[in-house]
Amino acid sequence: MKKMATDSDRTRMTIVPNHNEVDRSTLREIIRQAGLTNEEFMGLM
């Protein structure tokens, strides 16, 4: 599934698997593509 996010000056798109479990390395790549640090991602959880 495609997810898009827009901030003040750019739009980012990443593909997020539609699975119950996502591999750790896949999750890290999704976080990276979203332009977030691990800490920023955890703060959103």
Digits of tens for pLDDT over the chain (45 positions)?
A: 656 666 667 777 777 788 889 899 998 988 888 888 999 888 988
User: For the chain, what are the domain ranges?
Assistant: 2-44
Q: For the whole model, what pTM was predicted? A: 0.64
CA distances from 2 to 16, 18, 28, 30, 38 (A): 6, 10, 16, 11, 20
Q: pLDDT value at position 25?
A: 93
H/E element, 40: helix 38-44
